[in-house]
């Protein structure tokens, strides 16, 4: 596994832990409509992958394997709400990474400038925001990526300011520039704001050319491993 993919996996695990959560089945809503009202018409869901809404994903070999593991565990009868998979968690997370990573790379190439992509991989907080944006969907990713790339083109290199900007894009504006914030996206942004600086790296500013060396990324991966254990404690 490449160092970039290792870092992506470590951050993805934190996205799952902090934002997407664990298991849900519509049977839970049928049994307790009031408690699960917010799920609306959601299908069976694990780590933010919806068995109904994620139709195209679920038809891939990886998607089929993901749900086969869940079915073999008889999850709908054995797993509680937000259960994280127990001894299947690591394998399920690996499969989610295989689902999300290609989409992240595709959307990044499509909507992020090359310089913006380089900068995002230097800061765990920025990478977190854009990995999570992949879950939000291509429309939201495009909005966040285009505005972020414009900010980079304007010369902004202060990482703390860039992180705040990515959160403001969620909390202060909708999909179209100047439109009101979307309620669900705003809620996510406010939640991210509460913990995002726990992922902060030591560098506050980026100047000149960025060299994404394995040594640098390996150091960041070690930091993420420590943080992951902290979140799971």
Token pair for 24: 């849900």
Question: What is the residue extent of each domain of the chain?
Answer: 3-19+102-232, 22-83
- Residue by residue, DSSP assigns the chain as --HHHHHHHHHHHHHIIIII-S-B-HHHHHH-TTTTGGGTT--SEETTEETTTTHHHHTSHHHHHHHHHHHHTTHHHHPPTT---GGGHHHHHHHHHHHHHHHHHHHHHHHS-HHHHHHHTT-HHHHHHHHHHHHH-HHHHHHHHHHHHHHHHTT--BHHHHHHHHHHHHHS--SSTTSPPPHHHHHHHHHHHHHGGGG--S--B--S-----HHHHHHHHHHHHHHHHHHH-
DSSP bridge partners of 46: 49
- Residue by residue, DSSP assigns 151-190 as HHHTT--BHHHHHHHHHHHHHS--SSTTSPPPHHHHHHHH
φ/ψ (deg, to 5) at 46: -145, 125
Q: pTM for the complete prediction?
A: 0.83
What confidence score (pLDDT) does residue 209 get?
A: 42
Burial zone of 3 (CB within 10 Å; 0-12 exposed, 13-18 middle, 19+ buried): middle
What confidence score (pLDDT) does residue 220 get?
A: 44
Q: Which residues does the chain have with pLDDT short of 70? A: 1-2, 202-233
């Amino acid at each position: 596994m490449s160092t970039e993919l290792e870092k992506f996996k470590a951050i993805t695990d934190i996205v799952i832990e902090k934002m997407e959560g664990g298991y849900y089945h519509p049977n839970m809503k049928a049994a307790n409509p009031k408690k699960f009202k917010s799920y609306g018409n959601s299908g069976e869901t694990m780590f933010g992958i919806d068995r109904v809404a994620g139709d195209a994903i679920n038809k891939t070999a990886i998607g089929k394997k993901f749900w086969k593991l869940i079915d073999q565990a008889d999850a709908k009868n054995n797993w509680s709400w937000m259960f994280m998979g127990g001894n299947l968690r690591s394998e399920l997370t690996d499969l989610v990474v295989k689902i999300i990573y290609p989409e992240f790379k595709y959307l990044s190439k499509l909507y992020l400038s090359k310089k913006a992509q380089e900068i995002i991989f230097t800061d765990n907080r920025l990478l977190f925001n854009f990995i999570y944006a992949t879950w939000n969907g291509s429309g939201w990713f495009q909005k966040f990526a285009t505005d972020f790339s414009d900010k980079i083109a304007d010369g902004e290199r202060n990482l703390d300011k860039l992180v705040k900007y990515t959160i403001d894009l969620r909390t202060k504006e909708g999909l179209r520039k100047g439109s009101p914030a979307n309620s669900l996206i705003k809620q996510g942004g406010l939640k991210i704001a509460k913990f995002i600086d726990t992922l902060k790296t030591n560098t506050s500013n980026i100047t000149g050319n960025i060299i994404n060396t394995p040594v640098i990324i390996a150091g960041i991966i070690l930091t993420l491993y420590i943080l992951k254990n902290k979140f799971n404690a």
